[in-house]
Chain A
Amino acid sequence: MNAGEVVTLLGRNGAGKTTTLKSIMGIIGKRTGSVKFNNQEIIRATSDKIARMGIAFCPEERGIFSSLDVRENLLLPPVVRAGGLPLEQIFDLFPNLKERLNSQGTKLSGGEQQMLAIARILRTGASFLMLDEPTEGLAPVIIQQIGHTIARLKKEGFTILLVEQNFRFASTVADRYYVVEHGKIIDGFSNAELAANMDKLHTYLGV
Chain B
Amino acid sequence: MQALYAQLLVGLINGSFYALLSLGLAVIFGMLNIINFAHGALYMMGAFVAYFLLSLGGINYWWALLLAPIIVGIFGMILERTMLQWLTGLDHLYGLLLTFGIALIVQGVFQNYFGSSGLPYAIPDQLKGGMNLGFMFLPIYRGWVVIFSLVVCLATWFLIEKTRLGAYLRAATENPTLVRAFGINVPRMITLTYGLGVGLAALAGVLSAPINQVRPLMGADLIIVVFAVVVIGGMGSIMGSIITGFALGVIEGLTKYFYPEASNTVVFVLMVLVLLVKPTGLTGRAA
A residues with a Cβ closer than 8 A to B are 25-27, 46-48, 50-52, 56-57, 59, 63, 65-68, 72, 75-78, 80, 121, 124
The stretch from B34-42, B70-78, B166-174, B252-260 touching chain A is B166-174
Contact A68 B170 (CB under 8 A): yes
From the candidates A47, A76, A124, name the one contacting B167 in the complex (CB within 8 A). Answer: A76
From the candidates A27, A59, A67, name the one contacting B174 in the complex (CB within 8 A). Answer: A67
CA distance A63 to B182 in the complex (A): 11
A75-B164, A76-B168 known; A66+B181 contact, CB < 8 A:
no
**Is B57's beta carbon under 8 Å from chain A?**
no
Contact B180 A67 (CB under 8 A): no
Residues of A within 8 A of B186 (CB): 48
**Is B178's beta carbon under 8 Å from chain A?**
yes
CA distance A59 to B174 in the complex (A): 15
Most chain B C-beta atoms within 10 Å of own C-beta, residue among A25, A50, A52, A65: A65
What is the CB-to-nearest-CB distance from A61 to chain B, in angstroms, rounded to a whole number? 9
B residues with a Cβ closer than 8 A to A are 164, 167-168, 170-171, 173-175, 177-186
CB closest chain-B residue, reference A71: B167
Most chain B C-beta atoms within 10 Å of own C-beta, residue among A26, A51, A124: A51
From the candidates B167, B180, B182, B183, name the one contacting A68 in the complex (CB within 8 A). Answer: B167
Residues of B within 8 A of A124 (CB): 182-183
CA distance A76 to B175 in the complex (A): 13
Contact B184 A78 (CB under 8 A): yes
CA distance A36 to B173 in the complex (A): 31
What is the CB-to-nearest-CB distance from A37 to chain B, in angstroms, rounded to a whole number? 14
CB closest chain-B residue, reference A52: B183
CB closest chain-A residue, reference B160: A67
CA distance A182 to B179 in the complex (A): 29
What is the CB-to-nearest-CB distance from A128 to chain B, in angstroms, rounded to a whole number? 13
Residues of A within 8 A of B174 (CB): 65-67
Residues of A within 8 A of B183 (CB): 48, 51-52, 77-78, 80, 124
| 15 more A-B residue pairs beyond the given contacts A68-B167, A121-B182, with a C-beta to C-beta distance below 8 A | A27-B177, A48-B185, A51-B182, A52-B183, A56-B182, A65-B171, A67-B170, A67-B174, A68-B170, A68-B171, A75-B164, A76-B168, A77-B183, A80-B183, A124-B182
